């Protein structure tokens, strides 16, 4: 199969899985449209704030799982024939999943911000990354209680780690494929920052809302 066609297929696989809107469907089970409450975002943080910690963790797990399953499917379909570019195909699938999550066509392209999907991708991408990336989110979040700050730190550290490990030969790919890998990761990072642009402004103004996992009331 043509490698370009494989890249497109991986994007499509990711997009189809990404459109499974856990927050939206869970909210409907509870009798609400999550997009009409809180921040209006169909994601983990807004679900946690509106429906509670249990609901937040269910949505987090669901959004992570859909990206993990998409990557597992990609690996099963193309792992043998394109083993030398498997990590690249994984990131194409993850990018499609994030786009599907952020911009699902059947919800007028109004979804979440893609961080939980990214977390699922990071779990399925390379096991050695997990401890560092988990710390890169948890440390700033637990100190400040700003989910947005933790999310942006996660993406930034992932981008740095990806380049460092890639240049050290961890992924076993040629330099052109590595550069393509870095480019897709950079675009995903840019999208994450774009989706959090309002949060960044509020962080600068010290107006960002804090999120507490096990408290009913949050600072406004």
Banded model confidence at residue 74, pLDDT cuts 50, 70, 90: very high
In the prediction, which pLDDT does 164 show? Answer: 95
In the prediction, which pLDDT does 217 show? Answer: 46
User: Is 214 part of any domain?
Assistant: no
* Greatest Cα-to-Cα distance within the chain, rounded to the nearest angstrom: 54
Instruction: Write the CB contacts of 9 (distance below 8 Å, at least 6 apart in sequence).
Output: 77
User: Is 185 part of any domain?
Assistant: yes
Residues 27, 100, 105, 19, CA torsion sign:
negative
How far is it, in rounded angstroms, from Cα 60 to Cα 51? 13
Quick check: 204 pLDDT over 70? yes
- Rounded to an integer, the average pLDDT of 182-196 is 95
**Burial environment of residue 188 by CB neighbours within 10 A (0 to 12, 13 to 18, 19 or more):** buried
User: Is 72 part of any domain?
Assistant: yes
How far is it, in rounded angstroms, from Cα 196 to Cα 180? 24
User: Is 136 part of any domain?
Assistant: yes
User: Is 157 part of any domain?
Assistant: yes
How far is it, in rounded angstroms, from Cα 115 to Cα 44? 9
In the prediction, which pLDDT does 215 show? Answer: 59
The model's pTM is 0.91
User: Is 67 part of any domain?
Assistant: yes
- Could you tell me what percent of the chain has a pLDDT over 90? 75
Structure tokens at 95: 């990018």
Banded model confidence at residue 218, pLDDT cuts 50, 70, 90: very low
How far is it, in rounded angstroms, from Cα 177 to Cα 199? 33
Domain membership of residue 152 as a residue range: 3-205
Structure tokens at 219: 């600072």
Cβ-contact 130, 46 below 8 angstroms:
no
Number of domains present in the structure of the chain: 1
In the prediction, which pLDDT does 219 show? Answer: 44
How far is it, in rounded angstroms, from Cα 163 to Cα 218? 37
Mean pLDDT value across the chain: 91
Among 40-44, 93-97, 125-129, 215-219, which range has the highest average pLDDT?
A: 93-97
Count of helix runs (H) and strand runs (E) in the chain: 10, 0
Banded model confidence at residue 43, pLDDT cuts 50, 70, 90: confident
Instruction: Write the CB contacts of 198 (distance below 8 Å, at least 6 apart in sequence).
Output: none
In the prediction, which pLDDT does 41 show? Answer: 85
């Amino acid at each position: 199969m043509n490698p370009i066609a494989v890249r497109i297929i991986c994007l499509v696989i990711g997009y189809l899985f990404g459109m499974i809107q856990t927050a939206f469907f869970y909210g409907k089970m509870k009798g609400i449209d999550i997009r009409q409450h809180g921040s209006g975002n169909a994601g983990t943080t807004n679900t946690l704030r509106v429906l509670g910690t249990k609901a937040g963790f269910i949505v987090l797990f669901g959004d992570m799982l859909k990206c993990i399953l998409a990557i597992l499917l990609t690996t099963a379909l193309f792992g043998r024939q394109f083993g030398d570019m498997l990590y690249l195909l994984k990131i194409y699938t993850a990018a499609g999943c994030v786009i599907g999550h952020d911009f699902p066509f059947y919800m007028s392209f109004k979804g979440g911000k893609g961080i939980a999907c990214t977390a699922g991708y990071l779990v399925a991408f390379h096991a050695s990354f997990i401890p560092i990336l988990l710390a890169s989110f948890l440390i700033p979040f637990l100190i400040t209680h700003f989910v947005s700050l933790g999310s942006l730190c996660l993406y930034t550290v992932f981008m740095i780690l990806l380049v460092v490990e890639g240049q050290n030969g961890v992924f076993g790919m040629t330099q052109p494929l590595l550069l393509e890998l870095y480019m897709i990761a950079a675009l995903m990072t840019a999208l994450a920052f774009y989706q959090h642009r309002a949060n960044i402004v509020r962080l600068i103004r010290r107006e960002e809302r804090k999120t507490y996992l096990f408290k009913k009331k949050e600072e406004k």
